[in-house]
Amino acid sequence: MRCDEVTALLPALVDGEPVGFEAERHVDTCLRCQAELARYRRLLRTLAMLRTRYAEPTPGLLGDTLAAITDAAETGARHTLLSGRRIAYVGAIGGSAIAVGTTAALLIARSRKRALSLAG
């Protein structure tokens, strides 16, 4: 295998992934590819070091995040409450509407009756 073919496999080989016997044998005997593999190893070590290099959060972001969670929690609780009581609310509103309708019908009927008796 040629160096340029093997070089394309080095980002996988650096993890210890199998890249084929031919490529591995080439690296074992090629100083140029060994040097290139060493660069990838160093790159990975440097990237791993970023793990403990922290970014400074934007001022106020923690407070905003906690407030957003509070809003979500309250909204969620409201939804739960509403869904739990939805049937009761619908029943109560429906019952009230029927009661109002019945009362109105009775009053109208009574007023018509009185009007008829006055006319007669």
Partner 1 sequence: MDEAELVGAARSGDRQAFDELVRRTFVDTFTLARRLTGNEEDARDVVQEAYLRAWKGIGKFRGDAAFSTWLYRITANAAASNIQRRRRHRTESFADDFEPVDNAAEHLVSQGAESAEALDRIGGALDDLPAKLRSVVVLKDVYGMSHESIAEELGITVSAAKVRLHRARRKLRDVLYDEGAQANAV
Number of Cβ atoms within 10 Å of the Cβ of 12: 13
User: Least separation, in Å, of the C-beta of 64 and partner 1?
Assistant: 7
Q: What is the DSSP letter of 15?
A: T
Quick check: 45 and 15 in contact, CB under 8 A? no
Residues in contact with partner 1, shown as a per-residue x/- string from 51 to 80 under the rule CB under 8 A: x-xxxxxx--xx-xxx-xxx-xx--x----
24 or 40: CB nearest partner 1: 40
Number of Cβ atoms within 10 Å of the Cβ of 24: 14
SS3 120: coil
Q: Residue 30, interface with partner 1 (CB under 8 A)? A: no
Q: Residue 81, interface with partner 1 (CB under 8 A)? A: no
Q: Return d(Cα 45, Cα 43) in angstroms, integer.
A: 5
User: Least separation, in Å, of the C-beta of 98 and partner 1?
Assistant: 39
Residues that bind partner 1 in the complex, under the rule CB under 8 A? 8, 11-12, 14, 35, 38-40, 42-51, 53-58, 61-62, 64-66, 68-70, 72-73, 76
